[in-house]
Chains A and B, each alone.
Chain A
Amino acid sequence: MEVTDQLGRTVSLESSPQKIISIAPANTEILFALDLADRIVAVTDYCNYPPEAEEKPSVGGFSTPNIEQIVALSPDLVLAAPIHQDQIVPQLEAKGIKVLVMAPRTLDEVVAAITLIGQVAGAESNASALVDSMQKRIKAVTDKTGGLSDGQRPSVLFIVWHDPLMASGLNTFHDELIKKAGGVNMTTGEGYPGINLETVIQADPDVVLAGVGMGAGADAPLVFAREEPRLRDVSARKNNYVFGVDNDTCGRAGPRIVDALEEFARLIHPELFK
């Protein structure tokens, strides 16, 4: 079977792989959502969802998986991410291991990644059921937000980190989620540009979202957004529109990206989504 992954690489797979290693948290989430848990032989230290993923053996970090451990498990397939493109993927291929790279940059491409993994693993029906439900939920949100006029779209600042202050700009999941949820992204740079306080004060966002994680201190961006005295006159602060959102949910290219979309929509347009 010839498969083209999301980097355009063509990989020939002999049969439906039974031993799969996921070296990206998003891929792990997709595998579990497609009910392929028993084919997963290993994941990474960062694969924390669903909770059962943490019981799987680990082959190291997300950006630094251990090649030896992967080879020792002799997987039929490794599911990688763009971060592995330059070093990990060539090393694995040189050892005869099949690698597919999932590289979604948009919600549509997340859906495509799920379809692709379903197809490769022989779980097409699970994949199409999951994809259908995701697309229905996306449409339910965009149906309500699609007709909003410019004046009805609040400007939204997504704070990725506070020191240095970094925001989500164009061509990020956060950007697409903000737009689909009926907002306008305040930040216009590409990717995750650094941004300064005076720009934020002038742009005066109506909503501030701050990415928060699970670990100790991982809520620092939210604490900053809520407490930095120099942001006191910003509309979002005056109207109490400063919220924390889970980094894993809204940043991972997995099925939960739709949960994130619904959450963004509730936070940006509470009057439309109750």
Chain B
Amino acid sequence: MSVLEGAGAQPPVPPHRKTVQSAWAGHLVPWRSRIYAIIALGIALIVIIGIATTIGSVSVPLMDTIRVILNKIPFVHFTPTWPNGTEIIILDIRLPRIIMAGLVGAALGTAGATYQGLFRNPLADPYIIGVSQGASLGAVIGFLLPTSLNLLGVGVIPVFAFIGALLSTGVVYVLARQGKSLPVTTLILAGVALGALLSSVISYLVISSGDKMHSIIFWMMGSFSLSQWSDVWLVIPYMVVGTAVILLYARPLNVMQLDEEQAQQLGINVERLKIVLLAAATLITAAAVSFVGTIGFVGIIIPHAVRLIWGADHRFLLPLSVLSGAIFLILADLLARTVLSPTEVPVGVVTALFGAPFFLYLLRKRKKVIF
């Protein structure tokens, strides 16, 4: 373990595994600059939340926005001079939506980094082991049921999506498990196969869903258009606990990059690590998609972008992915709700449309082996 600690430490490079160096460290970025990056992104996140709150299809003067928000603080009182409805627009429409986008972006970014690290596979994203197909199937079934159904005070769609995501991942896990071990390749293949199976069921249900087709497709591309505070409070516990667990396992994840056998020899309980990280990453992904749909691209692009800029050490990669994911999705949603205002674009369209060129730019600029 000790060899892995300290500033910019080189991992041990066994001569027979030449890829390990690039896999683990990427390029070496000074330790201090990554600490600064975390602080800077934290500040940027707060500033961007502030800016996003002032922008929308209805124009609210900046000072009114600030006064409306400050009015919520005890002992601060501004006499309302703004038009009726401004408070609802700022506090009940924009803010919960922005916070939700931030939470979901953070969850998808973190889950993507976790899966990529755990599977040592650059193509892994939060949906690789069937979460999105499970969630989509659950949601589609929810759409096709009488919508008057209400479970525990939540609409039927988030509940079904959440259950679907957990169920499908559970099935993949059971299928891939061999005795006491969980071979990563089998896990990915089982995920892809079950995903294909569920996709065909989803396609059939969507085609035969008649006038609900539009809503279903919109859900699958993801949208924050109706996010509200009660949704935020429901997903926060899953995300905080899941993300905290993942962050605690950053160092073992680094060791896992060597290969499972060596990690085992270095004292890591590899099988337990896999189960804990899979459970945590699945939980935050399921919570993220259940309310807002299967937003693509964030989970795969954010960890890679972070890795390109700040390197592959999970102790920094994970927290930087939390912050970058949140910032990216808040900005994507800002575009989604303003670019064709008052019409809304599904946020999943924006993430791909703007995220892909940015990622390709990073890829060209660095021209390095990133994984």
Contact = CB atoms under 8 A, between A and B. Distances in A.
B is bound to A: yes
A164 interface: yes
Given A217-B147, A219-B148, 7 more contacts: A61-B210, A166-B214, A195-B343, A195-B344, A198-B89, A202-B83, A204-B84
Contact of A198 (B56, B219, B223): B56
Contacts of A94: none
Contacts of A3: none
20 contacts: A161-B215, A164-B215, A164-B223, A164-B344, A165-B225, A196-B56, A197-B89, A197-B225, A199-B57, A201-B58, A201-B85, A202-B85, A204-B84, A213-B211, A216-B146, A217-B145, A217-B147, A220-B148, A223-B147, A230-B88
Interface in B124-163: 145-148
Closest 10 CB pairs of A and B: A216-B146, A217-B147, A199-B342, A217-B146, A201-B85, A220-B147, A202-B58, A198-B89, A194-B343, A198-B58
Given A161-B214, A164-B225, A164-B344, A196 B57 contact: yes
B225 A230 contact: no
Interface of B: 56-58, 83-85, 88-89, 92-94, 145-148, 210-211, 214-215, 218-219, 223, 225-226, 228, 337, 341-344
Interface in A181-226: 189, 193-199, 201-202, 204, 213, 216-217, 219-220, 223
B223 A233 contact: no
Interface string A215-248: 0110110010000011011100000000000000
A196 B92 CA distance: 13
Nearest to B345: A194
Interface string A156-187: 00000101111000000000000000000000
Contacts of A196: 56-57, 93, 225, 337, 341-342, 344
A233 B85 contact: yes
Nearest to B87: A233
Contacts of B219: 163
Contacts of B56: 196, 198
Contacts of A61: 210
Contact of A197 (B93, B147, B218): B93
A94 to B, nearest CB: 24
A201 B92 CA distance: 12
Contacts of B344: 164-165, 194-196
Contacts of B92: 229-230
B280 to A, nearest CB: 30
Contacts of A164: 215, 218, 223, 225-226, 344
Interface in A30-70: 61
Contacts of A232: 88
Contacts of B147: 217, 220, 223
Q: Which of A161, A199, A204 has the most CB of B within 10 A?
A: A199
A166 B58 CA distance: 17
Contacts of B84: 204, 233
Contacts of A233: 84-85, 88
Nearest to B92: A230
A47 B26 CA distance: 63
Interface in A111-166: 161, 163-166
B148 A217 contact: yes
A81 to B, nearest CB: 15
B208 to A, nearest CB: 9
Given A165-B225, A165-B226, A216 B148 contact: yes
Contacts of A198: 56-58, 89, 93-94
A163 B88 CA distance: 19
A216 B146 CA distance: 5
Nearest to B84: A233
Contacts of A219: 148
A247 to B, nearest CB: 8
A196 B347 CA distance: 14
Contacts of B214: 161, 166
Nearest to A169: B343
A195 B88 contact: no
B360 to A, nearest CB: 29
A71 to B, nearest CB: 23
A223 B94 CA distance: 22
Nearest to B94: A198
A233 B86 CA distance: 11
Contacts of A230: 88, 92-93, 228
A233 B82 CA distance: 14
A46 to B, nearest CB: 8
Contacts of B210: 61
Contact of B226 (A163, A189, A216, A223): A163
A161 B209 CA distance: 15
Point out which of A164, A196, A199, A219 has the most chain B C-beta atoms below 10 A from its C-beta.
Answer: A196
